[in-house]
Amino acid sequence: GQQLNQSPQSMFIQEGEDVSMNCTSSSIFNTWLWYKQDPGEGPVLLIALYKAGELTSNGRLTAQFGITRKDSFLNISASIPSDVGIYFCAGPFTSNAGGTSYGKLTFGQGTILTVHP
């Protein structure tokens, strides 16, 4: 089955530092997504990438869709304490045939980010 390998598994950084994490897959994806899970909450979508080579920003977050379509990167600049949480990459396996839709979203193992004030 599809597997996403996400690294690093955890990061401990000082407030103000930049953060980089990445995700690789053995399969090609047409979409890459990055989610964040705050403690005690469900994951929330941060950024969606729909085109190989695409670079997309959302505030201090920047994500890139790798040219090979088998990888993606997420960068967080000037980290702040509220950036703490688990960051997941995700790739969908979909079918939108016949006007209906189904999809399995496969998640990476997550990167646990801790930010020290």
Partner 1 sequence: DSGVTQTPKHLITATGQRVTLRCSPRSGDLSVYWYQQSLDQGLQFLIQYYNGEERAKGNILERFSAQQFPDLHSELNLSSLELGDSALYFCASSGGIFTGELFFGEGSRLTVL
Binder among 62, 70, 77, 107 for partner 1 (CB under 8 A): 107
Main-chain dihedrals φ then ψ at residue 67, nearest 5 degrees:
-60, -35
Binding to partner 1 by residue 85, rule CB under 8 A?
Answer: no
CB-wise, 104 or 116, nearer to partner 1?
104
CB of residue 49 to partner 1, shortest distance in Å = 10
CB-wise, 73 or 88, nearer to partner 1?
88
11-50: which residues touch partner 1 (CB under 8 A)? Answer: 31, 33, 40-45, 48
Number of residues that bind partner 1 (CB under 8 A): 26
The closest alpha carbon to 8, from 74, 59, 53, belongs to 74
Q: Which residues bind partner 1 (CB under 8 A)?
A: 31, 33, 40-45, 48, 88, 90-92, 94, 96, 100-110
